[in-house]
């Protein structure tokens, strides 16, 4: 089933940390040689140690190394890599990078530059979703710049409304207007924030949903007009729009809803001619799904989907990019049990202030149904320059209850000394009655943190 595609002999991994390791593992299993790239701050990193070759691509700041396209191209030339896996973050959703690689005859393991571009502009993405038959949040048809149009749209859809940046990402450039009186100020604040963060002040208006869940569908397209879905992930537990804990299946979705929405999404992505892994994100409220955006890359939380489907998503990405197609059909996909991922960040678990530094002790949990993806080890010094995610704990069980039981045990076993991590927050969450019931929406965690602060 998973025979090695013959097209790639060497893959360069344009990333760092746990995701670089994740990709490296898939390459090893396929017998493909690997090249790690790293900044001077990451010379001792695990992804560098485990790769067949490594190239230093610049000083610590990401813009000079992991985002430095000429340096990464040079590393491809030097090592003779014939494909690049971008991981997530950094250059993974950079259409220009995908185009430049293609122009140099190097395969970008991901969708086409054009598909990245469409989904990277949220107004264009929403328009495309509508065209493909995916339900969207009611709102403006295009960009809004003046107060009069904003008021007209807001009155049509009804308050509260949310103003969002077309170029948005990471929850920036979003402002809520509760009433007509707030609208003008929210509009100008959102535009100013969008301009500062993305250099583009186009914004659009959507109905603000009061208590939605964040539900996203994993898709894989073969680039030839077919696509499959691998079920949903519930990522409602967020702080400042950043996911903290994810689970699959969602405690709020039935098998019928999964099949219906998954079918709509897979058909749409197939019709688009999309190649590789993608995630179609929805807000879900009162039984209805509303598209918010599509991520054209592998997600941090992909392992929970792998746990319940037993499908290696990176292996499938490589196969599709190599022209070998998907190894599975929709009817082959079975969903088994329940999986939860806890993001372990090097942060103070109460204030969330970053906590880089030397890890003096490191012991990861094990046992049935437990997976830890991390580049950390005892004696590793976490550099202060990058994202604070240092690992992911993924636990699988036959039922949600068994998964929670195992997660509680695994979190108790996890030891990270020398720095602060978010493990204590996860220990609180796993013992919370609302979480036990699966009873939470996208605002739940912020409310809990406000109470316990
Ligand atoms: P970004 O790309 O910046 O992450 P998204 O469109 O994915 O932006 O939205 C991020 C988060 O913002 C969502 O998960 C949700 O918590 C909140 N959000 C976005 N749109 C709405 C909406 N229409 N109503 C309520 N909350 C929203």
| Helix ranges (DSSP H) in 31-68 | 46-50
Q: What is the pLDDT of residue 173?
A: 81
pLDDT band at 5 (very low <50, low <70, confident <90, very high): very low
| Rounded Cα gap, residues 154 and 156, in angstroms | 5
| Mean pLDDT, residues 100-104 taken together | 97
pLDDT band at 453 (very low <50, low <70, confident <90, very high): low
> Does position 348 have pLDDT exceeding 70, yes or no?
yes
pLDDT per residue as tens digits for the range 172-225? 889 999 999 999 999 999 999 999 999 999 999 999 999 999 999 999 999 999
pLDDT per residue as tens digits for the range 432-445? 999 999 999 999 99
DSSP 11-30: EEE---HHHHHHHHHHHHHH
Contacts (Cβ under 8 Å, ≥6 apart) of 125: 118, 119, 293, 294
DSSP 347: B
Answer whether 121's CB lies under 8 Å from 166's CB.
yes
Cα 291 to averaged position of ligand 1 atoms, centre (Å)? 10
- Tell me the sheet residues that pair with 107: 83
pLDDT per residue as tens digits for the range 31-40? 999 999 999 9
pLDDT band at 6 (very low <50, low <70, confident <90, very high): low
CB atoms near residue 270 (< 10 Å): 19
Q: Which atom in ligand 1 lies closest to the alpha carbon of residue 171?
A: 3
Answer whether 237's CB lies under 8 Å from 445's CB.
yes
Mutate to test the pocket of ligand 1, among 205, 241, 242, 280 (most ligand atoms within 8 A of CB): 241
Average pLDDT, rounded, for the chain: 96
Q: Which residue has the higher pLDDT, 308 or 5?
A: 308
| Mean pLDDT, residues 419-433 taken together | 98
Structure-block tokens of residue 14 = 């344009």
Structure-block tokens of residue 251 = 């405690």
pLDDT band at 245 (very low <50, low <70, confident <90, very high): very high
pLDDT per residue as tens digits for the range 39-94? 999 999 999 999 999 999 999 999 999 999 999 999 999 999 999 999 999 999 99
Cα 168 to averaged position of ligand 1 atoms, centre (Å)? 10
Q: What are phi and psi of 272, to 5 degrees?
A: -70, -20
CA 260 remoteness from chain centre = 23
Answer whether 35's CB lies under 8 Å from 95's CB.
no
What pTM was computed for the model?
0.95
| Rounded Cα gap, residues 215 and 248, in angstroms | 10
Mutate to test the pocket of ligand 1, among 292, 295, 300 (most ligand atoms within 8 A of CB): 292
The pocket around ligand 1, CB under 6 angstroms, is made up of: 137, 162, 168-171, 206-209, 212, 214, 238, 241, 281, 283, 292-293, 442
pLDDT band at 169 (very low <50, low <70, confident <90, very high): confident
Q: What percent of the chain lies above the pLDDT cut of 70?
A: 98
297 is catalytic: yes
Closest CA to 143 of 95, 176, 190: 190
Q: What percent of the chain lies above the pLDDT cut of 90?
A: 95
pLDDT per residue as tens digits for the range 256-314? 999 999 999 999 999 999 999 999 999 999 999 999 999 999 999 999 999 999 999 99
Q: What is the pLDDT of residue 232?
A: 98
Q: CA 212, 208, 206: angle at the middle one, nearest 5?
A: 120
The secondary structure of 133-182, three-state, reads: CCCECCECCCCECCHHHHHHHHHHHCCCEEEEECCCCCCCCCEEECCHHH
> Does position 2 have pLDDT exceeding 60, yes or no?
no
> Does position 4 have pLDDT exceeding 50, yes or no?
no
Q: Cis peptide before 384, with omega less than 30 degrees from 0?
A: no
Cα 171 to averaged position of ligand 1 atoms, centre (Å)? 7
DSSP 3: P
Q: What is the pLDDT of residue 280?
A: 98
| Rounded Cα gap, residues 158 and 207, in angstroms | 7
CB atoms near residue 56 (< 10 Å): 16
């Amino acid at each position: 089933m998973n025979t090695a595609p013959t097209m790639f002999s060497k893959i360069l991994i344009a990333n760092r940390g746990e995701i670089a390791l994740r990709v490296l593992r898939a390459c090893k299993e396929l017998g493909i040689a690997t090249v790690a790239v790293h900044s001077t701050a990451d010379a001792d990193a695990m992804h560098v140690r485990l790769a067949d070759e490594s190239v230093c691509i610049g000083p610590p700041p990401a813009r000079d190394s992991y985002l430095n396209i000429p340096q990464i191209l040079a590393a491809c030339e030097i090592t003779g890599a014939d494909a690049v896996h971008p991981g997530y973050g950094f250059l993974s959703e950079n259409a220009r990078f995908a185009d430049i690689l293609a122009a140099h005859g190097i395969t970008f393991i991901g969708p086409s530059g054009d598909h990245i571009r469409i989904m990277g502009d949220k107004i264009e993405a929403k328009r495309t979703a509508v065209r493909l038959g995916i339900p969207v949040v009611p709102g403006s048809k295009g960009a809004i710049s003046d107060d009069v149009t904003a008021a007209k749209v807001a009155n049509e859809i009804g308050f509260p409304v949310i103003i969002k940046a077309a170029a948005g990402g990471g929850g920036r450039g979003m402002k809520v207007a509760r009433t007509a009186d707030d609208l003008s100020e929210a509009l100008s604040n959102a535009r100013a924030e969008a301009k500062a963060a993305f250099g583009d002040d186009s914004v659009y208006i959507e109905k603000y949903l009061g208590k939605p869940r964040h539900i996203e569908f994993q898709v894989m397209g073969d680039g030839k007009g077919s696509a499959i879905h691998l079920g949903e992930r519930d990522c409602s537990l967020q702080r400042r729009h950043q996911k903290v804990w994810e689970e699959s299946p969602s405690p709020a979705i039935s098998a019928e809803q999964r099949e219906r929405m998954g079918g709509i999404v897979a058909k749409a992505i197939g019709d688009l001619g999309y190649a590789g892994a993608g995630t179609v994100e929805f807000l879900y409220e009162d039984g209805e799904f509303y598209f918010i955006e599509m991520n054209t890359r592998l997600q941090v939380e992909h392992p929970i989907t792998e746990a319940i489907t037993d499908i290696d998503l990176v292996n499938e990405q490589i196969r599709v990019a190599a022209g070998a197609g998907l190894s599975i059909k929709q009817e082959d996909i079975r969903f088994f049990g329940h999986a939860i991922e806890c993001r372990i960040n090097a942060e103070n678990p109460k204030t969330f202030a970053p906590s880089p530094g030397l890890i003096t002790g490191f012991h990861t949990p094990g046992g049935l149904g437990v997976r830890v993806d991390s580049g950390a080890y005892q004696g590793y010094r976490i550099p202060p320059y990058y994202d604070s995610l240092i690992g992911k704990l993924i636990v699988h069980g036959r039922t949600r209850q068994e998964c929670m039981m195992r997660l509680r045990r695994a979190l108790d076993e996890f030891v990270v000394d020398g720095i602060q991590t978010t493990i204590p927050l996860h220990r609180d969450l796993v013992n919370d009655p609302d979480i036990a019931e699966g009873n939470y929406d996208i605002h739940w965690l912020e409310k809990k943190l406000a109470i316990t602060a």
